[in-house]
Structure 1
Amino acid sequence: MNNLLLMKRVVLQVLRYGVYLPYLVFYSFVLGPIVGGILMIGGVAVLSLILGPKTSWLALKKAYREEEVRGLSTH
């Protein structure tokens, strides 16, 4: 009876990890970047609605200027 209980626990543990690990990998490497991209586009759209298209475009350009990314200062 003890061996049967031990085998049951081992099989259940293997099944738990067999379900959990693929889900974790899928969410981390597939679904996570997709959701991040959707949220980024939605955030930019909301920013555009709040500030207006011209002001939001200027804010985005200022945030992602090439000189600031490289660490160079133009001033």
Structure 2
Amino acid sequence: MPLYIKDPEVDRLTDELIGLTKTSKVDAVKAALKHEIASRKASLPIRDRLAKSLAMARAAGPFAPGDHKRETDEMWGED
């Protein structure tokens, strides 16, 4: 769905950002949205940021037994 915003302040802010970045309106809005999303994600508690990784680790189960040094050396072609 296209994004249509009819708000004079948003238009003014977009024009100001375009002037500072020398980009198109689309690129200015895209950059601003990406920046805000990254900022919000960075401010999440560490538990929330790591939730997906923790779930994947739990699903994978405990570390498999074996000679991991030997396996790594074989993978890299080292003796």
Same fold (TM over 0.5): no
Structure 1-normalised TM-score?
0.32
Instruction: State the structure with bigger RCO (CA 8 A, min sep 6), 1 or 2.
Output: 2
Higher Rg: 1
Structure 2-normalised TM-score?
0.31
Q: Which structure dedicates a bigger proportion of its chain to helix? A: 1
